[in-house]
Structure 1
Amino acid sequence: MAHRLLSTAMLLTVTATAAVACGGDGDDRTKQVNANGRARLAGTFYTSDQLEQALLTEPVGYRRSGDTDSGEYGGLKSIQNFNQLQRQVTLDKPKCSNAGGARPGSPPMDESAPTAIASFVKDNGQNVTETLMALPADTAAKHVNARVPAGCVTFRTKVGDQWAEHRVFEAPPGTIGEGSRTVGVTTVSGQSHVKTWYVVLRGRRYLATISLIGAAATRAEAEQLARQADAQANRVLP
């Protein structure tokens, strides 16, 4: 039961907390080159290579889970795998389809945005995923300023024959980076429950998201990881 519940919660995590794709084929590399080229032409975006270098290495208590994934957001295997898995989810409130994602209530993502993703795991099975995206300041601000849709504080999902109940908590606007938002989602099925915390923050021409998932996941740890991610990005990115 706990395994099925964890899978349901992971399906709601758009950053694909499940294993990040290892390696890449020629098509993936082409997409990454295209993303990097667009970034250079734009003159204001970071490349996916730069973003990959700015990711957290190994947060204290965690070890890396798989390799980093970088390139165009829509071309990343981890994102494509998530989109495929998400099609298996049935919601009792279709309008809440984005309420449990890594940026609950946020506008759609730019499929061509240079992106880098890394995932880490604790011995107790708790997972953390960091996503860095190159975005102009006004676009990043829209994601930070977004709010969970009305009526979506609670909703139910079904994967196969297993139903799960979700409750969303949204904190007041935060001050991590140049502005942040924190959202928690508790997923319950039977006697088991999983907590997922999302911290979305904007920095210099980038949007960062920390997704923390596990039975013992806390807001305090998610926000601490977000501060570490912001500090790391500021040290590395020009």
Structure 2
Amino acid sequence: MAHRILPLVLLSTAVAATACGGDAERAGQVRGTARAEVAGIGYTSDQLAQALLQEPPGYRRAGEPDSGEYGSLKAIQNAARLQRGTTLDKPRCGSGRPGGDVAGDVPAALVSFVNGTGQTATETLMGMSAADAEKQVNARVPTGCLKFRTKVGTKWAEHQVSEAPKGDIGEGSRTVGVTTISGSARTRTWYVVFKGRHYLATVTVFGPNATRADAERLARDALTQAHRVLP
């Protein structure tokens, strides 16, 4: 199964999910490790977990990191379940597209944080070939999907997307923001996708006052940490 990286429909919820482990997690780690060795990616889920941000300034960790196959991570599974129960007014915007999918069995690790105002930040590291990572960095939101609506139950929400030109974090990056209005509540999500040697990373911030600057600062911190740990 392939998964879109933080589907637009699910940005506001996937980033808030925290991870916990157990036997299922360990089984995912074993499978993720095997796939890394076969594919020659170079990094196992255990190595990626060690390279995650520890406690970025202004944030505290929300739960234990999760690692294993990408599709086995709790946050990704929760996002997929929510997507199945979400109505999208532009169905094509919720489907996969070339360069926008991640195989469910790639090695991965994820950690979430929260700050004093309740804003959340999430980092995900995925073992990936340079070619596949390049596709993710080069992917763009279709023009017709920059505005859309979603419905969960009987409640509609409006979303507006902004996307920056390709950036220079790591070996190339992309930054996307989503403003969501639901009733009287307005929230913002910013996510940064960047690639490194044999891995792809996403850093996401979510909250009423989330900013692009904060997301990109955390992405640069994540890059520094990855360089420090991964050979």
Structure 1 and Structure 2 fold alike (TM over 0.5):
yes
Structure 2 residue runs without a partner (length 5+) = 1-6
The residue that corresponds to 2:3 in the other structure is: none
TM superposition shift of 1:77: 2.2
User: Any gaps of 5 or more consecutive residues in structure 1?
Assistant: 1-8
CA contact under 8 A between 1:136 and 1:205: conserved in structure 2? yes
* Distance 1:212-1:61 versus aligned 2 partners, 3 A rule: same
Tell me the residue number matched to 2:80. 83
The offset of 1:20, in angstroms, is 1.9
Give yes or no for contact 1:202–1:208 (8 Å, CA) kept in 2. Answer: yes
Superposed CA offset, 1:189-236 (max 9, x none):
232200000100000110000011000000011001100001110110
Q: Which amino acid aligns with 2:85?
A: Q
Q: State the AA in 1 paired with 2:82.
A: L
Aligned equivalents of 1:225, 1:78: Cα separation in 2: 19
**What is residue 42 of structure 2 aligned with on the other side?**
45
Assess, with a 3 A threshold, how the Cα gap between structure 1 residues 105 and 194 changes in structure 2: closer, same or farther: farther
> Normalized against structure 2, the TM-score is what?
0.92
Number of equivalent positions = 225
Checking the alignment, whether the CA contact within 8 Å between 1:19 and 1:66 is kept in structure 2 is no
The TM-score, its normalising length taken from structure 1, stands at 0.89
Match of 1:146 in 2: 139
Per-residue Cα deviation, 1:103-147 (whole angstroms, up to 9, x for no partner)? x98521111100000000012110000000000000000000000
**Mapped contact 1:15–1:131 kept (Cα < 8 A):** no
CA distance in 1 between counterparts of 2:9 and 2:50 reads 27
In structure 2, how many angstroms separate the alpha carbons of the residues matched to 1:13 and 1:180?
Answer: 18
Counterpart for residue 13 of structure 1: 11
Larger fraction in strand: 2
- Matched residues in 1 for 2:191 and 2:17: separation? 18
Going from structure 1 to structure 2, the CA distance change for 1:45 and 1:98 (only over 3 Å counts) comes to farther
Asked if the contact 1:132–1:209 (Cα under 8 Å) also holds between the matched residues in 2, the reply is: yes
Q: Which residue of 2 aligns with 1:24?
A: 22
Is 1:32–1:71's contact at 8 Å kept on the other side of the alignment? yes
User: How many angstroms apart in 1 are the aligned matches of 2:38 and 2:146?
Assistant: 41
Q: How far apart in 2 are the matches of 1:167 and 1:78? A: 23
Give 1:63 deviation, angstroms: 0.6
* Structure 1 residues 229 and 211, CA gap change in structure 2 (3 angstroms): same
- Whether 1:57 aligns to 2:54 is yes
Sort the Cα spacing of 1:171 and 1:98 in 2 relative to 1 into closer, same or farther, 3 A: farther
Matched with 2:109 is 116
Question: CA separation of 1:214/1:142 partners in 2, compared to 1, >3 Å: closer, same or farther?
Answer: same
Q: What is the RMSD of the two structures over their aligned residues, measured on CA atoms? A: 2.0
Residue in 1 that maps onto 2:156: 163
* Pairing 1:97-108 to 2, within 5 Å after superposition: 97=94, 106-108=99-101
Contact kept, 8 Å, 1:45 with 1:136, in 2: the verdict is no
Residue number in structure 2 paired with 1:3: none
Q: Tell me the equivalent position of 2:67.
A: 70
Alignment check: 8 A CA contact 1:134 1:207 kept? yes
